[in-house]
Amino acid sequence: MSTTSNINFVKENSTTFADSDYNSAAYDAYRPTYSPHLYSKVYAYHALHSSSFSTALDIATGTGYIAKELSKTFQQVYATDISHNMLSSAFRSPKIQYSVSTAEDLSQFQDSTFDLVTVGQAAHWFNREKFFKEVWRVLKQSGTLAIWGYGYHVVDGYPAASKKMLEFGSKTMGDHWDQGRLVIENLYRDIVIPDDLFKNIIWERHEFDEKEGKMKNGESFVSQEWSVDRLKSYMKTWSAYKNYMSKCQKENQKIEDPIDKLFEEIKKDEGWEDDQILKITWPFVLALAEK
């Protein structure tokens, strides 16, 4: 396999919510980033059963944020996504090679190729039976699979605003999410990693305790200090929002932007200004497994 950073478009006819009309630059700019502690935990788990940090594969890489982090530790990183558009905005490095493919078909890779396979915020979209079989095939013996994701955010110290945003995402936008959203909202409790393929399976969840007003099981692996305006921009990267706006445009409906409307209401209720800094936290799930 080549070690250049050129994108190898192996499945150009694939489509996704993040395809040609999706704003991949906005996705890259406004999505939350993961704590360094997340990668440290993944690497520590991997080191328990493998001394090799040679090759890694990031599936559903989007604009390559996870691949970029992996390239700081692994000699060579490969990253796949179903969206040609997302990869066109991906981070470039000689240590990263991108290709377009589904999570269920990794046929461009040979058996036992990777020390580590990662999937961030995407496993809920997959055909998981096929996905797990393909990951098992391309992982080296004693290699590691790491899967993680996050649910609807919480604004620390603002329970009423958090509830309104949750209701907006789950109810107002509810019918406009692609299939799989409920799986991540349940923090992957519906996903079973097959124990005939993997061993030493660990699940870790960080959930928000409304009664205590803080995260259970310590701090989440995703927490940001953002302005009100940036939080609004992040919500406009939601696929449900894109689907909703596209539907209205196709039907020639003249509507008020629902996220703009939501934030005007919350700003009035809470006294927020656009540049006010908020602490945002996301409930989080991490699964680790050894081949």
111, 255 in Cβ contact below 8 A?
Answer: no
pLDDT of residue 245: 92
Confidence (pLDDT) at 20: 42
Whole-number pLDDT of residue 27: 60
Regions of the chain where pLDDT drops below 70: 1-28, 212-214
Please give the pLDDT value at position 252: 79
What is the predicted pLDDT for the residue at 214? 67
Q: What share of the chain is helix, strand, coil (3-state, %, to 5)?
A: 35, 25, 40
Cα end-to-end distance, the chain, whole Å: 23
User: What's the token pair of residue 193?
Assistant: 């990693």
Give ∠ CA 140-141-144 in degrees, rounded to 5: 70
All domains in the chain, ordered by first residue? 7-151+179-209+282-290 (3.40.50.150), 154-178+223-279 (no CATH)
Cα–Cα distance for residue pair 16/84, rounded to 1 Å: 9
Question: What would you measure as the largest C-alpha separation in the chain, in angstroms?
Answer: 58
- Give the C-alpha distances (Å, rounded to integers) separating 130 from 121, 137, 145, 154: 18, 11, 15, 34
Q: What is the pLDDT of residue 74?
A: 98
If one counts every other C-beta atom within 10 angstroms of the C-beta of residue 129, the result is 11
Q: Edge to edge, what strands does the sheet with 154-155 contain?
A: 154-155, 277-281, 223-227
Alpha-carbon Rg for the chain in angstroms: 19
Q: Model's pTM, two decimal places?
A: 0.88
The pLDDT value given to residue 208:
81
Instruction: Give me the pLDDT at residue 2, please.
Output: 34
